[in-house]
Structure 1
Amino acid sequence: MAPAKMSVAELEKFLREEFPQAFSGNEVVIESADGETCLLRQRYSERMLRPGGTVSGPTLMALADFAMYVVVLSAIGPVGLAVTTNLNINFLRKGQPGRDVLAAGRLLKLGKRLAVGEVNLLSGDSPDPIAHVTATYSIPNK
């Protein structure tokens, strides 16, 4: 694939202007994005937890969707109206309370109108994913 069209600094500036709520009150940090992959970190907060003390499904889905948006934008540039058309998630194990959640995103295919990718969600430093996500984004005409 081609080199990134937006750096992490450019992504953060664009997203904070266009979609600030995606950062969950500064709990989400873009650690890297290179046009093919990205790594996001959601800092631990008790708001992430559901009854029973596990990280909630909606928290994981929102982080995965944002990771896909970041990797797509890093590949195509500042196209605010790129939108999710499909997102599938498999919950694999319990997300541990007290740990940040990492989202490792990767583009599988980038076309003119669609981008397909996957995101592995990790609990803290554990190498074992707590969820696996596949997603498709629609890219509008320029």
Structure 2
Amino acid sequence: MSEGMGVVVDGLPEDGAVLRVPYSDSLVRPGGTISGPVMMALADAAMYAAILGKLGSVIMAVTANLNIHFLHRPGKSDLIANARILKLGKRLAVCEVALYSAGQPDMVAQVSGSYSLPPAEGSGG
């Protein structure tokens, strides 16, 4: 889904990632706001990018949990995701993501989630 949204990686700071979805009317739901599934997909992609930025290619990493709190209505501007890794274990990565409308100081959504990581090669598990 994130490919169809035009997700752009703006940066990969240590233990994190900054991604952006350019604003498009196709992402807007009835009522004139960016849809929740778009916000969730961007947050999920940002968590995955943060993990890849830290570990390199981990193709079999999968979302284990995603929880989102919608705080404010996003504006008619790009949607920005600032993700950071809170804990990186052998089999689980725990992340948080702050979503913002570009140019606005207030967070539009707060996301927490985790990724299940495949066993390291040679670990036997």
> What TM-score does the superposition give when structure 2 sets the normalisation length?
0.91
How high is the sequence identity, in percent, across the aligned residues? 47
Question: Superposition pairs for residues 1-142 of structure 1, below 5 Å?
Answer: 22-24=2-4, 27-97=6-76, 99-142=77-120
Shift of 1:22: 2.8
SS at match of 2:2: helix
Distance in 2 separating the partners of 1:77 and 1:70: 9
| 1:20-65, Cα deviation, whole Å (9 max, x unpaired) | x53225x210011134011001001111100010110000000000
Letter in 2 for 1:57: G
* Unmatched 5+ stretches in structure 2: 121-125
Q: Distance in 2 between matches of 1:24 and 1:118?
A: 23
Which stretch shifts more, 33-42 or 45-54? 33-42
RMSD: 1.1
Segments of structure 1 that go 5 or more residues without pairing to the other structure are: 1-20
**Structure 2 residue identity aligned to 1:30:** V
SS of equivalent residue, structure 1 residue 23? coil
Task: Measure the CA separation in 2 of the matches of 1:141 and 1:37.
Answer: 22
Q: Does structure 2 retain, via aligned residues, the 8 Å contact 1:23–1:29?
A: no
CA distance in 2, matches of 1:48, 1:92: 18
